[in-house]
Structure 1
Amino acid sequence: MDKMTDHEVGLVEFIVQAWNKFDHAYQPPKGEPEWKCTSLNNACKQYKWGKLTREENNKKLDDLSGRLQECLVDASLNNHKLHHVCLEILEWGGVEGVSSAWFRESCENGVLREKISKGVKLLKEGPSHDDWERFDNEDLVMNSALTKVYALADPDNIPIYDGRVGAAMGLLVRRYLKQLAPRPCEVPEELAFRWGGGYTQRGSRARHPRNPSEPPYKFECLRSSKNDHEEWCWRTGRILRQVVDTINNDPGRENISMRDLDDALFMVGRIVR
């Protein structure tokens, strides 16, 4: 794995501190009450998805993750059972129709297990791996559906990298850069996390509520950039893994997981402007 840059190490340290102290607030649309947090830990505890509480959601994901991993390691279980679990994951994530043809064809051709396993391996090892080019949106796919499958296949190492998580990472980078002296005049290439839109808003993309850009710092939209969703998932994963390790190696702090951080970022990233 490539060595972390000084800025990546600095961002890890910033997020470690943000777990205990990070103020953020926003006014959601449709008359919902103001949302705010005082730390990433506090944001994590407020996690909600659909009608599920965080406790209910964790129970659901533990079940899906366990069955998915069983299908990936037990060759006696056919690709059709794996396909069914993947469809359940997509239903949970609200992306039922995304890549449905890819899942179906991979299952029918008997290669679904190999493709998901390879995707997981690559997302842990990064772009320097010889097979990275398999992420071509035909052989291996990375999008709003597959990121959930890869993450549940290896929840200790791979985050669910969606538009909200990308927006939150951009916000964290922006605040990290602004507290440096001297302050950088642009976003370092390795920290230029991609964000993604949710609900629509009239006007330019520059004013989208999930766009963490603020002069002089610019972050591109996930959909407008080249096919690099997988790269930013990998970059986010290795940073968050280091955050988890740092916190969990401190005997004075309560242990956390990748999912805890992912949940916190998901809540923070709904609106970042």
Structure 2
Amino acid sequence: MAAFQTKRAPTLPMTTMPQPFHTKRDDFLKQDDVRGFIDWLAAELPVKRFQLKMARSRFVPGGLDVQATGLEAVLGHYVWNTRWTDARGKAVVSGNWRETTASLGLLRGWLKDAIARQDEDQVLAACLAILEWGGVRGAIVFLKRLHAQGRLAAYFTRLAPFMSLDSDAPLDALDTDSVERFDAGLTKIHALFDDSGSPIYDSRVGAAMAMLYAQYRSQAGAKLAKKHWLAFPSGAARGKQIRNPKGIDSGFAGAPQFFGKAVSCQDWAQWQVKLGWLLRAVLEKCDWFKADSADMAARCHAFEASLFMLGYDLRCFGPADTVAATMPAVAKSGTFGAVPSGHPFSTVLTYYTAYRRQGGQPSSSAFSKWLTNNYKTKTLKESSANSYCFPLAKGEFGLHERSVADLECISAGGEAGLYMAVGSKDAYKESDEREHICLFDALLAGRVAHLTDNAREALLMERGYAGTENSADTLYRVGLNVGRHFGLLDKNGAPTAFYNDYFGNCLNDL
């Protein structure tokens, strides 16, 4: 991928510098590496050329294929076609940046007013509307649990000072005691509740920052110390988009991945704050995004929205022909985001429910160890036991956070089990984030049920959901098991009436 190797100096190892225990904004911004990156962004972003290319989806109905020079020009092509329902039951629709800012203003007002009044029902309704706008649903069960405990408003109120970019609180205030969960939905809620410009930090924003930092490190090279402060985390997409710099250029280090061991919930929350500090520092040196508003918080969100567009697929950082040129490498690297770790879904639920019923610790590592020692499964290899943990994770069904009673219902399957698993009876909606892959694979399995094995594998690879025949088969087998468990697919793998009701027209044109 020579297109990305301009001004290359010897690549430096991405070794993260140990941070002081009580890192505050000024401590962070005064680091040489951070200051150098801020200066580089201020100089480079106005002149960088980007090839924005997005596949047609419910969020980008007509697709996108345009060139843009400079970060402000990118914002002019912002598109996120979505809707949510307000407190009166009225649909609020938005697509471009102007419509989106108005829509988010309404959501922000609803959330802040509900929290100020300590109206738990309205706080929950506003939070769910924010998730609806964002096309994500992983946080639903968590939000409903806080609501049932009567502490939803208190939770966001308590975290607000630590998420504020104006706060003098140290980063470690966002610790295991304060941050109970963080994901692509919660970052949106925290950002909207904040008045200082705290950015939404999802996989696309993280990917764009990781790519920009990789380019900065590559160009500055020998001038930089080997240790640094800015290992921006990201997450995979569901399709064949690239959201990790390593997938673009083998000389770039890989970004730490959401929901992995390297990025805890607390880390993710801290990165939202650190990114906000960076964006504000850059904007203080520039006059970007002042045409629409001189307000710093509004400019921060415009900056974030531009990063969101750039992070859809990191090949936008290269020339127009780079997408086609890099596809073979993408397939070889296995970066396709719809392929799960292989596991027998129903069996895993049965074992995990039994394990928790016996008082087992709610963690994947403990469950994996239990599987390898259990008399029924002790012949399992460690790698197989680890793959069994896939549906338990926060990015999937978050079963470590569930009660035994919940697990009994989910393990029993059917419609009731599915609704308990996802925390809602709402119909399924596609997401741009890599979440609920098990359910997404059930959707795919139903759409390709009429095809032969070879035709099915070929289609899944052609559409970018899998990179190899083996991974396509894994995707299908997991989807088939999940679909059957919840009554979405019948014993022959064909869609049921419940499948059609739940998934609607999603991927109908596959």
* 2:51 aligned counterpart, secondary structure: strand
Q: What CA distance in whole angstroms lies between the structure 1 residues aligned with 2:66 and 2:271?
A: 27
Does residue 103 (structure 1) correspond to residue 143 (structure 2)? The answer is: yes
Mapping of 1:84-163 within 5 angstroms? 84-95=125-136, 97-124=137-164, 125-129=169-173, 132-135=175-178, 140-163=180-203
Does residue 223 (structure 1) correspond to residue 251 (structure 2)? The answer is: no
CA change 1:106–1:33 in 2 (3 A) is closer
Does residue 263 (structure 1) correspond to residue 305 (structure 2)? The answer is: yes
8 Å contact 1:126–1:132 — kept in the other structure? Answer: no
For residue 57 of structure 1, report the CA deviation from its aligned partner: 0.9
Q: What CA distance in whole angstroms lies between the structure 1 residues aligned with 2:191 and 2:201?
A: 9
For residue 21 of structure 1, report the CA deviation from its aligned partner: 1.9
- 204, 215, 234: which one aligns with 1:175: 215
8 Å contact 2:197–2:301 — kept in the other structure? Answer: no
Gaps spanning 5+ residues in structure 2: where?
A: 1-23, 57-61, 83-94, 316-510
Mapping of 1:190-201 within 5 angstroms? 190-201=229-240
For residue 126 of structure 1, report the CA deviation from its aligned partner: 4.5
Q: What CA distance in whole angstroms lies between the structure 2 residues aligned with 1:198 and 1:216?
A: 19
Q: What CA distance in whole angstroms lies between the structure 2 residues aligned with 1:33 and 1:152?
A: 27
Of structures 1 and 2, the one scoring higher in RCO (CA 8 A, sep 6+) is 1
For residue 219 of structure 1, report the CA deviation from its aligned partner: 1.9
Does residue 22 (structure 1) correspond to residue 48 (structure 2)? The answer is: yes
Q: What CA distance in whole angstroms lies between the structure 2 residues aligned with 1:154 and 1:88?
A: 17
- 83, 96, 99: which one aligns with 2:124: 83
* 1:270 aligned counterpart, secondary structure: coil
Q: What CA distance in whole angstroms lies between the structure 1 residues aligned with 2:183 and 2:150?
A: 21
Select the structure of larger CA radius of gyration: 2
What is the letter of the counterpart of residue 264 of structure 1?
Answer: S
Q: What CA distance in whole angstroms lies between the structure 2 residues aligned with 1:248 and 1:39?
A: 13
Q: What CA distance in whole angstroms lies between the structure 1 residues aligned with 2:163 and 2:177?
A: 12
Q: What CA distance in whole angstroms lies between the structure 1 residues aligned with 2:221 and 2:46?
A: 23
8 Å contact 2:203–2:235 — kept in the other structure? Answer: yes
For residue 26 of structure 1, report the CA deviation from its aligned partner: 4.7
Q: What CA distance in whole angstroms lies between the structure 1 residues aligned with 2:302 and 2:100?
A: 12
Q: What CA distance in whole angstroms lies between the structure 1 residues aligned with 2:312 and 2:49?
A: 14
Q: Equivalent residue for 2:106?
A: 63
The share of aligned pairs that are identical, in percent, is 23
Q: What CA distance in whole angstroms lies between the structure 2 residues aligned with 1:63 and 1:94?
A: 17
Q: What CA distance in whole angstroms lies between the structure 1 residues aligned with 2:132 and 2:49?
A: 32
8 Å contact 1:135–1:142 — kept in the other structure? Answer: no
With normalisation by structure 1, the TM-score equals 0.83
Does residue 247 (structure 1) correspond to residue 286 (structure 2)? The answer is: yes
Q: What CA distance in whole angstroms lies between the structure 2 residues aligned with 1:267 and 1:157?
A: 18
CA change 1:259–1:18 in 2 (3 A) is farther
8 Å contact 1:196–1:222 — kept in the other structure? Answer: yes
CA change 1:226–1:174 in 2 (3 A) is closer
What is the letter of the counterpart of residue 67 of structure 2?
Answer: K
8 Å contact 2:107–2:126 — kept in the other structure? Answer: yes
* 1:110 aligned counterpart, secondary structure: coil
* 1:191 aligned counterpart, secondary structure: coil
What is the letter of the counterpart of residue 212 of structure 2?
Answer: L
Segments of 4+ moved more than 6 angstroms: none
Q: What CA distance in whole angstroms lies between the structure 1 residues aligned with 2:238 and 2:145?
A: 31
* 2:242 aligned counterpart, secondary structure: coil
Q: What CA distance in whole angstroms lies between the structure 1 residues aligned with 2:228 and 2:160?
A: 24
What is the letter of the counterpart of residue 122 of structure 2?
Answer: K
With normalisation by structure 2, the TM-score equals 0.47
For residue 231 of structure 1, report the CA deviation from its aligned partner: 2.4
For residue 56 of structure 1, report the CA deviation from its aligned partner: 1.0
What is the letter of the counterpart of residue 235 of structure 2?
Answer: G
Does residue 236 (structure 1) correspond to residue 275 (structure 2)? The answer is: yes
Gaps spanning 5+ residues in structure 1: where?
A: 202-207
Q: What CA distance in whole angstroms lies between the structure 2 residues aligned with 1:162 and 1:247?
A: 24
Does residue 210 (structure 1) correspond to residue 262 (structure 2)? The answer is: no
What is the letter of the counterpart of residue 42 of structure 1?
Answer: A
Mapping of 1:45-64 within 5 angstroms? 45-50=76-81, 52-64=95-107
Q: Equivalent residue for 2:488?
A: none
For residue 84 of structure 1, report the CA deviation from its aligned partner: 0.9
Q: What CA distance in whole angstroms lies between the structure 1 residues aligned with 2:66 and 2:128?
A: 32
User: What is the number of equivalent residue pairs in this alignment?
Assistant: 259
What is the letter of the counterpart of residue 245 of structure 2?
Answer: P
